[in-house]
Chain A
């Protein structure tokens, strides 16, 4: 008998990964397991599940079958060994960090990050006595020289929010690995359709699945994916390699091998942080992913047309879209983002804050709100909103000026988007 065919296409996996027909009922769509808890077969099974001796459902703060389908789908598309879902992108990021960090540790991060991430790192992590340094994402020597004795992690975004910088992932991964450190990438703006950081040597990928993954602006969610290839037993991570006091002395990396970090992330950090994703959100996000490649193609095609239109306007100063041919990131886009440089970017209006606000308030089709990655086109003024908590120096490092406008280009018709932008530009 010939071997069964193997199905490897990205579109096929977007639709099928993680969700096989329900063996009990035959349901083809992923059932929404709206339950807090699960009946045990017997006492021995219950103990085996809690001891992690067997994979079993115990309580939906820690695992849920609908969430598992979403997690496996993301893990599959990113090429990871597994994934753990969370209530939001920032919850996922917190958990990914908590799992590996202790008081006194140091993190080296790109300075071109989402404002919420900068705030989380700078204030929340520092409250927990974790040190931070931000470095220019383009300056590989700064990364090499910035690693210290107590550094535990390099962190960056595939496409910086909102500066549009593109990270040299494999260059950074090799510096991180020279220091025995993992590289964590926020791939929210890339999505696994455009870029798969694990294939370029990154060790952990985090997502706000709220954005392009879900794709419709309906549901919050976050997810952490790991390659399973990082050596957590290299001596720098006793918090993962040594017996865990929070799990009756279990050595997660030795016991679970390639699954060690994710098992600890789920069984300890998610358990203790409590930031579980609801099964209904998991259903909506997993369904959103079914059309991820189709939507991303339209997002990217529209973004290129809109960026080219804006670049040709006298009233627009700079268009910082890495997908434009004259972008300084063009070589990195060619390498890491061959299908497109995403659909979120900034441009600057010479009139500063007043021009930015007038422009945004004149738009009729773009929605003025604090989100990105929706099927609908979105617009915001970062300096007064998403990046409001940053000081002037940080704003400059993040590439945000008073007249900077951020757009997230949706999947409408590009002619309509351009008509709306042209109308709003006429008003300033």
Chain B
């Protein structure tokens, strides 16, 4: 298995999870698609989800934009569910739109896209799922027996 730990830093992941506005590129309205699972989860967990998909008019009742450059207000995170070949253009759009972070989901591996984003001052997470990471650090992953790798005796605030 390839090792992308350089783009999987727990600190960066937790900074991203504290952001608010997440553009989900490739968000599908088909509720069996992974992008739909993740987008729905994010919207239920306090994030402002902005669908980006030229094939959709709206998803979860939210207007879908053809590309990142069409979104009127700045976004914090660009979360990508697309073929890796589409990533360089998305990364360039993310830089142009002043996004803070680029998140590439499982299997969305694009060294070229990563380079474009990083040259533009954007931090990147690659080959990780934002839903899983949210569930690990802020959510209920431990309710289903998954390994959060969190060891702490601190009582968390509700």
Contacts and interface: CB of A to CB of B under 8 A. Distances in A.
A82 interface: yes
Given A20-B156, A53-B37, A250-B32, A72 B148 contact: yes
Interface stretch (A60-68, A89-97, A156-164, A409-417): A60-68
A255 B151 contact: no
Size bracket, chain A contacts: 35 or more
Size bracket, chain B contacts: 35 or more
A65 B145 CA distance: 9
A75 interface: yes
A249 B33 CA distance: 10
Nearest to B139: A55
B139 A75 contact: no
A61 B146 CA distance: 17
17 contacts: A16-B153, A20-B154, A24-B158, A54-B41, A54-B45, A68-B142, A71-B145, A72-B146, A75-B145, A76-B149, A81-B146, A85-B145, A248-B32, A255-B37, A258-B106, A258-B132, A262-B146
A255 B34 contact: yes
Contacts of A67: 145
Interface of A: 3, 6-7, 12-13, 16-18, 20-24, 26, 28, 44, 48, 51-57, 63, 65, 67-69, 71-72, 75-76, 80-85, 229, 243, 248-251, 254-255, 257-259, 262-263, 266
Given A82-B144, A257-B107, 12 more contacts: A6-B151, A28-B153, A48-B44, A54-B41, A55-B140, A55-B144, A63-B144, A76-B147, A82-B146, A249-B32, A259-B146, A262-B146
B37 A21 contact: no
A20 B150 contact: yes
Interface of B: 1, 11, 31-32, 34, 37, 40-41, 44-45, 106-107, 129, 132, 135, 139-158
Chain B CB count within 10 A is highest, among A26, A51, A53, A83, for A53
The 10 closest A-B pairs by CB, nearest first: A71-B145, A82-B146, A75-B147, A55-B140, A21-B155, A7-B151, A257-B106, A23-B156, A16-B151, A255-B34
A336 to B, nearest CB: 21
A55 B143 contact: yes
Contacts of B31: 51
